Amino acid sequence: MSPGKQASGGAAAPMAAGARLEAMRRRVRLSRVAVWTVIGAGPIALGVAIASTPTTVEAATSPKPTAAVRSTKVAADPAGYAQLFVHAWLRSSADDATSAQARLAHSMAPDVELPDPAASAQSTPASVTAVHSAQRAGGAWSVTVAAQYADGTVRYYAVPVAADGAGNSFAVTGAPGVVAGPRRAEVPQSPYDVTVPDGDLSSAAGEFLTAYLTGAGEIDRYLAPGVQVTTASASPFSSVSVEQVLAVEETAAAEQIPADGTRVHVLAQAEARDALGRWPLAYELALTARSGRWEVSALESGTALDGGSR
C-alpha cells in the first residue's frame, strides 16, 4: 500500500470516531430539549414522554428488588413472657427473696420490687392468663395479664415488656400496674333465626353428634361423599341429646327434603352426659340434601354471619 493511501486510511478512522461522538452528543442535546419541552407543556405530556421511554433504559436504572426488601419481619408477641413473670411475681414475697418464685421474678425483672402480702391475704391465684398485647414504639410492649382467684375474683395487671428486634429476648422493664379488664364486646345478632322442627334434618344432626361425641356407630354413614370428620374420642360421652336446632335458611324448616344439592347451615344445641356430669354444647353444621336424606357436609367453626360455610 502506498504512503498516500496509508495516510488517507489513518486519518479516516479518527474522523469516523469523531463523527460518531458528535452524533451521540447531538442526540443527548436533543433529548434534553425534548424533556424540557414536555415539562413546559404540562404533566400530561410529561407522562406520555415517560411512558414512551425505552424499556431498556428503565431496566438499567431501576434496581431489582431483593429478598430483604420483599420480606416483612413480624415482631414476637411477649404475652407468654409477661404471663410467666406475673405468675412468679404474685407467688413471691419480699420476706422470702430466696424462694424459687422470687428468684424467677428477679431474673426476669431485676429492678422490680417483690410484693409484701399480709398474712391474711387471699391465697395465690388459681390461674394467670395473658388476655391482651399492645405493641408500642422502639420494641416496647404492654401486656395485660388476668389473675383469677379461687373465689372467682379477677385482677388485671398491665406489664411493660421490652423485646429485641429479632424477638429472641425479652425483659420486664417496670412493676406491673393494676388496670381495668377488657370491656365486654357487643354480641352481633345470630344468623340462626329459623327454628327447625322435629324431623329429618334435626334427626340427622342428632345422629351425627351422637356418633361424633360418643364414638358409637360409624360416623361416615352421616357424612356427604368426600367429607371426612374425626370423632372426638379423647373424652367420649355416654349419651347425647339434641335440645334445639336453629338454621340460617328458611329451607331448613320445610317438611319435605328439598332437591339434591340443597345446602343449609344449622346450629345444633345439644346436651351431653358423662361420669363427670351434664354438659350443654353447641355445634355449627352444614348439611346437604342427597337422595332423599340430609348428610353432614361440614363441621363448621365460628359463626356463618353471611350464611356461608367455613
Please write the tens of the pLDDT for every residue from 64-101. 444 444 444 556 889 999 999 999 999 998 888 899 99
Q: Final residue of a domain: which of 179, 202, 228?
A: 179
Report the C-alpha gap between 297 and 286 in whole angstroms.
5
Residue 188 belongs to some domain of the structure = no
Given pLDDT bands bounded at 50, 70 and 90, which one contains residue 310? very low
Is the residue at 169 inside a domain? yes
Helix (H, G, I), strand (E, B) or coil at 130: strand
Distance in angstroms (rounded) separating the CA atoms of residues 72 and 193 = 43
- Tell me what pLDDT residue 61 has: 43
Give a yes or no: residue 189 inside a domain: no
H-type helices in the chain, by residue range? 3-41, 43-51, 55-61, 67-70, 79-90, 100-108, 200-214
On the CB side of 91, how many CA atoms lie within 13 Å of its CA?
18
Are both 227 and 260 inside the same structural domain? yes
The whole-angstrom separation of Cα 297 and Cα 274 is 27
**Per-residue pLDDT for 141 more than 50?**
yes
Same domain membership, residue 91 and residue 56 = no
In a domain, 55, yes or no: yes
- pLDDT surpasses 60 at 40: no
Full residue range of the structural domain in which residue 12 is found: 3-63
Question: Which CATH number fits the domain that encloses residue 148?
Answer: 3.10.450
Q: Is the pLDDT of residue 210 over 80?
A: yes
Domain count, the chain: 3
pLDDT one-digit tens code per residue, 114-131: 998 887 776 788 999 999
Same domain (yes/no): 209, 133: no
What pLDDT is stored for residue 215 in this prediction?
Answer: 84
212 and 263 co-located in one domain: yes
| Whole-angstrom distance, CA of residue 78 vs CA of residue 83 | 9
Same domain, 92 and 25: no
The pLDDT value recorded for residue 119 is 77
Q: What span, in angstroms and rounded, lies between the C-alpha atoms of 108 and 83? A: 11
